[in-house]
Structure formats: C-alpha cells, structure tokens
Amino acid sequence: MYSVAFFQKKKKESISDSEDNAIPFCTADTPNAPNVFPDGFIKSAHFKKGKNFVQVTGTIDSSKYVDSTDEGGQYDTNAPSHALCAWFKKFVNLVEPDNEHFCIRCCNDGVSCDVGRSTDGCESIIPGDYS
C-alpha cells in the first residue's frame, strides 16, 4: 500500500504558504503522485478504515524536508485546486512539522472530513495512531 499526501513544492517552504499550490507526494513513484517523499521522512504510518472513510496517521522526521518550527497547515478538497482523493468525494490532510505529525482522511461525507478546523490539529480532526 502507498501513503500519499499533498505537500509543498519547495523544501523548507511553510505549509501555510503552500496550501493553494501543493503537489502530491507518495511513498513510491506512482502515476498520480510522481514526487516521492525523501528517505526517512515518513517515520510511522497507520491505516484505518471506517464506515465512510479511510485514513493514514503517523509521524514524520521534519529534518528531511520541512522547517521543524513550522506549526503546519491543511490541504483539503478546496485547496490546492483540483486536488482529490481517488474514489472519495472529499479529503482533509494536515502536516504539522513542529510536532512531527501528519494525517490524511478521505471520505464520502462532509461529517467525516472536517475541513473547517485546521488549527485544531491532526489529533483532534483525525483521531488515530500518532506513535
């Protein structure tokens, strides 16, 4: 299984500055996400499936690509433009370099993918395993 998330185009660019023009990254080269995360960037990834969603939560090594002091931001169905999570109507994806968390949830209803609370962080918006 591949882990995919949206991410900034430039190394060390703040997440919030890249929310409108992020590009897809993956753990392996795939046709829809040709950008591969740097080796060691994803430290842990935990998959979970619910009634109306699938999600991946985990940890990152922020020294590999991002500014470790960045408090993070959110990518979702609304930004970047034309972004999607295949086979799902909506998604929400947060990256939090300062606490080394990442999360992405793809869903078929608005309730399961809350895109209006980005400042609440991964653990609040997408409960899961962040070990």
Describe the strand order of the beta sheet including 53-60 as a list of residue ranges: 42-49, 53-60, 101-107, 90-96, 73-76
pTM over 0.85: yes
Report angle CA 124, 127, 131 to the nearest 5 degrees.
Answer: 110
pLDDT grade for 6, boundaries at 50, 70 and 90: low
pLDDT in tens, 45-100: 999 999 999 999 999 999 998 899 999 988 888 888 778 888 899 999 999 999 99
Written as six digits, the tokens of 19 are 């929310």
Q: What is the pLDDT of residues 23-45, one digit of tens each?
A: 877 777 677 667 888 899 999 99
